[in-house]
Amino acid sequence: SQQGEEDPQALSIQEGENATMNCSYKTSINNLQWYRQNSGRGLVHLILIRSNEREKHSGRLRVTLDTSKKSSSLLITASRAADTASYFCATDAFSGSRLTFGEGTQLTVNP
Amino acid sequence: EPEVTQTPSHQVTQMGQEVILRCVPISNHLYFYWYRQILGQKVEFLVSFYNNEISEKSEIFDDQFSVERPDGSNFTLKIRSTKLEDSAMYFCASSVTGEQFFGPGTRLTVL
């Protein structure tokens, strides 16, 4: 089964707008994490939300988790051109286990 | 801020040659991982390592692959006889529990 499917696959917005990306998964999880990847570069950890949490904030980021729907969303508020990147969700089954990544959302923020 | 480092950043090799990719995880971390990302595709798990042994491996991690933690700081991935399809970005990650922090990656090109 495929874990961590993001939608949309691509999102283009204007600077200052909010960007919302969604992630769905199929099996039970322990944690869900969001990562950013600039083209051809490494993965930058953004935020982790545990299965018993419903919402988490970090700066301009807001993550929600709905375990009943097996879905999560990442909201970036007041986007900047520098936020242009691919965003991935990744889930694990228990602490220390592998991460299973989704296909990612390519976000373009136009200045 | 501590970070995961990887060397080399780029490696070009001939098909059939052995390569060793090196990683220095964050010093107090206990879990170590290798992932790969073929160009344009999602990140795939290869192997995890805990307490000096492999704790999980994927179907990709066949007999051509091996991992070692030769000393207290380095973590290596060896590919014994490279194939064209091994061309990818290889990421090392480490964690205490929960958040996995990724290195910048090694781009492996097999000719």
pLDDT in tens, B9-58: 999 999 999 999 999 999 999 999 999 999 988 999 999 999 999 999 99
Which residue, among B32, B27, B97, B26, has the nearest Cα to B69 in the 3D structure? B32
- What tens digit of pLDDT does each residue of A4-58 get? 677 789 999 999 999 999 999 999 999 999 999 998 789 999 999 999 999 999 9
Q: Give the alpha-carbon dihedral of B76, B79, B80, B85, to 10 degrees.
A: -170
pLDDT at B73: 87
Q: What does the DSSP 8-state code read for residue A82? A: G
Q: Which residue of B has its CA nearest to A33?
A: B99
Longest Cα–Cα distance in chain A: 40
∠ at Cα A7 (B108, A28), nearest 5°? Answer: 85
Optimal mutation site among A31, A43, A100, interface B, most CBs of chain B within 10 A: A43
Selected for mutation to probe chain A from B4, B41, B100, B107 (highest A CB count within 10 Å) is B100
**pLDDT value for A44:** 96
* Whether A44 contacts chain B with CB within 8 A: yes
B3: contact with A, CB 8 A cutoff: no
Q: What is the DSSP letter of A9?
A: S
Higher pLDDT, B97 or B16: B16
Asked if A79 reaches chain B (Cβ–Cβ under 8 Å), the answer is: no
pLDDT band at A2 (very low <50, low <70, confident <90, very high): very low
Residues 48-77 of B with CB under 8 A from A: 48, 50, 55-56, 58
Tell how far CA B38 is from the center of its chain: 13
Percent of chain A's residues with pLDDT above 90: 82
Q: Which residues contact B16 (CB under 8 A, 6 or more apart)?
A: B81, B82
**How many CB pairs lie under 8 A apart between chains A and B?**
58
Q: What SS3 class is residue A98?
A: coil
Asked if B31 lies within 8 A of A96 by C-beta distance, the reply is yes
Would you place residue B71 in the very low, low, confident or very high pLDDT band (cuts 50, 70, 90)?
confident
Q: B74 to chain A, minimum CA–CA distance in Å?
A: 19
State the pLDDT at residue A6: 76
**Interatomic CA distance for residues A8 and A104, integer angstroms:** 8
Average per-residue pLDDT for chain B = 95
Contact B43 A97 (CB under 8 A): no
> What pLDDT shows up at residue A67?
96
Tell me what pLDDT residue A92 has. Answer: 95
Handedness of CA A86, A91, A95, A98 (dihedral sign): negative
Using DSSP's 3-state secondary structure scheme, residue B86 falls into helix
**In contact, B43 and B23? CB cutoff 8 Å:** no
The predicted model gives A46-75 an average pLDDT of 97
What is the β-pairing status of strands B106-110 and B10-13?
parallel
Closest CA to B108 of B43, B32, B38, B11: B11
What is the average per-residue pLDDT within A60-79? 97
